[in-house]
């Protein structure tokens, strides 16, 4: 069935970004493939990165483990949300995945069902989201800990909490025995190798996001968004376009109405601010983005017609600034109506 929306994903860019991050970290480099590979497709991301040499992958829930199915025998899969009461069955079934235990209750649950199996553990160093507090670390006695994790709260910024969390994690690593230690996400990789420890677990930057200014010249865009024109129309001088009448034509204006809207993750924040292009011609968004449609100014594209494709400006850092959304929201919000194509 034909779809009027295309999301083209570059394996070359994905792999290049992963290799850049691995080289900068100087240690083993994993990949967060949660949220269906940040909206691009967890399976094709895993396949491409595994072929490139990645062996450590991270999802959020056991449901995501089941969606992936079996992973290669020499690959590591960690479940970041740990082991809830309803997760015991899946955890016993999917023996190739490890829970990242986050609470004393999860630790005790794991000891009861699989005391000999390896697990991961999250220790909180200042994020106050998931993880055991340092004064709860005594509960870890007897566990076979593969990787001890923590997570920075402010890695995207030059914030004093970064250094404080680094020192807290160093202290935890000295006291808690594990095979490996991991602190750095995409942003923390760009803070320096002292944050790398044994394993880094980037997400955003693999997919073309720019977590810190240091990454701007090193990370390649991975996704390209295209939409088909539904109709070309003339908006006469003085007429408005779209909900709320936010755009009023000062002169006669040619507009292309395209198959795209906030139901697809092209958010209302792009209203009057987003852009597309065709054949090198800039096509600004006119008025308000609606659920399924966007109006583009196409005065400079005289040949653009029904059924033609336009390419949306979607470099993540710039798109985030234009829309008011985070780069994470832009990626993971891309809807199911896009045909996802890998090349």
Residues 225-252 have a mean pLDDT of 98
Residues in the chain: 343
Q: Do residues 40 and 207 make contact, with C-beta atoms less than 8 angstroms apart?
A: yes
pLDDT reading at 102 higher than 90: yes
129 is in an annotated binding site: yes
Provide CATH 3.20.20.10 ranges for the chain.
11-210
Phi/psi zone of residue 294: left (φ > 0), alpha (ψ -120 to 50 degrees), beta?
beta
pTM assigned to the model: 0.96
pLDDT of residue 241: 97
Active-site choice (195, 243, 266, 328) = 243
Phi then psi for 44, rounded to 5 degrees?
A: -65, -30
Closest CA to 32 of 11, 57, 62: 57
Q: Could you tell me if 100 and 120 are in contact, meaning their C-beta atoms sit under 8 angstroms apart?
A: yes
State the burial class of residue 127 (Cβ atoms within 10 Å of its Cβ: 0-12, 13-18, 19+): middle
Which of 34, 38, 207, 328 is catalytic? The answer is 34
The CATH code belonging to domain 223-342 is: 2.40.37.10
Residue 101 pairs in a beta bridge with 121
**For residue 70, what pLDDT band results from cuts at 50, 70 and 90?**
confident
- Domain 11-210 belongs in CATH node 3.30.70.1150: no
Q: What is the pLDDT of residues 178-202, one digit of tens each?
A: 999 999 999 999 999 999 999 999 9
Has 181 been annotated as catalytic?
no
Taking only the tens place, the pLDDT of each residue in 129-173 is 999 999 999 999 999 999 999 999 999 999 999 999 999 999 999
pLDDT tens figures, 292-319: 999 999 999 999 999 999 999 999 999 9
247 - beta bridge partners? Answer: 241
With a CB cutoff of 8 Å and minimum separation 6, the contacts of 93 are none
pLDDT tens profile 202-217? 999 999 999 999 999 9
Annotated binding-site residue? 122: no
Domain with CATH 2.40.37.10 in the chain: 223-342
Q: φ and ψ at 48, to 5 degrees?
A: -65, -45
pLDDT tens-digit profile of 38-58? Answer: 999 999 999 999 999 999 999
Is 34 a known active-site residue?
yes
């Amino acid at each position: 069935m034909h779809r009027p929306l295309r999301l083209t994903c570059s394996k070359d860019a994905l792999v290049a970004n992963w290799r850049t991050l691995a080289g900068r970290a100087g240690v083993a480099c994993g990949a967060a493939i949660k949220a269906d590979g940040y909206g691009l497709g967890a399976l094709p991301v895993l396949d491409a990165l595994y072929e490139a040499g990645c062996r450590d992958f991270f999802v959020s829930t056991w449901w995501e483990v089941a969606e992936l199915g079996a992973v290669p025998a020499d690959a590591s899969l960690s479940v970041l949300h740990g082991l809830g009461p309803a997760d015991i069955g899946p955890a016993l079934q999917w023996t190739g995945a490890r829970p990242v235990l986050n609470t004393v209750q999860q630790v005790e649950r794991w000891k009861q069902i699989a005391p000999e199996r390896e697990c991961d553990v999250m220790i909180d160093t200042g994020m106050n989201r998931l993880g055991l507090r340092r004064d709860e670390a005594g509960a870890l006695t007897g566990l076979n800990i593969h990787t001890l994790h923590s997570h920075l709260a402010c890695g995207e910024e030059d914030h004093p909490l970064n250094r404080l969390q680094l020192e807290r994690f160093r202290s935890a690593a000295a006291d808690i025995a594990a095979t490996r230690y991991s602190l750095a996400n995409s942003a923390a990789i760009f803070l320096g190798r002292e944050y790398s420890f044994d394993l880094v677990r980037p997400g955003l930057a693999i997919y073309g996001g720019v977590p810190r200014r240091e990454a701007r010249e090193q990370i390649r865009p991975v996704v390209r968004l295209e939409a088909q024109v539904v109709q070309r129309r003339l908006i006469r001088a003085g007429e408005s376009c779209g909900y709320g009448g936010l755009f009023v034509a000062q002169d006669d204006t040619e507009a292309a109405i395209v198959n795209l809207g906030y139901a697809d993750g092209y958010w209302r924040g792009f209203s009057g601010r987003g852009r597309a292009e065709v054949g090198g011609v800039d096509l600004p968004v006119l008025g308000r983005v609606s659920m399924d449609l966007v109006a583009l100014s196409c005065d400079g594209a005289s040949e653009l017609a029904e059924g033609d494709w336009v390419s949306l400006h979607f470099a993540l850092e710039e798109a985030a600034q234009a829309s008011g959304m985070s780069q994470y929201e832009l990626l993971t919000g891309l809807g199911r109506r896009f045909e996802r194509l890998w090349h």
